[in-house]
Amino acid sequence: MPTPEDGPSPLHDVSRTALVRRARRIHRVLAETYPDARCELDFRTPFELLVATVLSAQTTDRRVNAITPALFELWPDAATMAGADRTELEEVIRSTGFFRAKAGHLLGLSAVLVERFDGEVPPRMADLVTLPGVGRKTANVVLGNAFDVPGLPVDTHVLRLVERLGWADAHTLADPVRTEHAVGALFPRRDWTMLSHRLIWHGRRRCHARTPACGACPVARWCPSHGLGPSDPVVAEALVTTQGPA
Q: Are 41 and 60 in contact (CB under 8 A)?
A: no
Neighbours of 145 (CB within 10 A): 21
Length of the chain: 246
Residue in 51, 59, 53 with CA at minimum distance from that of residue 75: 51
Task: Specify the 3-state DSSP secondary structure of 114.
Answer: helix
Which among 85, 137, 148, 232 is annotated as catalytic?
137
- Angle at the Cα of 191 from the Cα atoms of 61 and 125, rounded to 5 degrees: 65
Q: Is 169 a catalytic residue?
A: no
Closest to 52 (Cα-Cα) out of 144, 125, 142, 182: 142
- Which is the catalytic residue, given 42, 148, 155, 191? 155
Rounded alpha-carbon distances, angstroms, from residue 148 to 49, 189, 221, 246 = 13, 12, 32, 23
Quote the Cα angle for 54-201-34, to 5°.
Answer: 135
102 catalytic residue (yes or no): no
Selection from 55, 52, 97, 47 nearest residue 77 by Cα:
47
- Kindly give, in sequence order, each residue whose CB lies less than 8 Å from that of residue 120, ignoring residues fewer than 6 positions away: 46, 47, 78, 113
What SS3 state is found at 206? Answer: coil
Rounded-to-integer distance, Cα 145 and Cα 153, Å? 11
Q: Which sequence positions are flagged as catalytic?
A: 137, 155
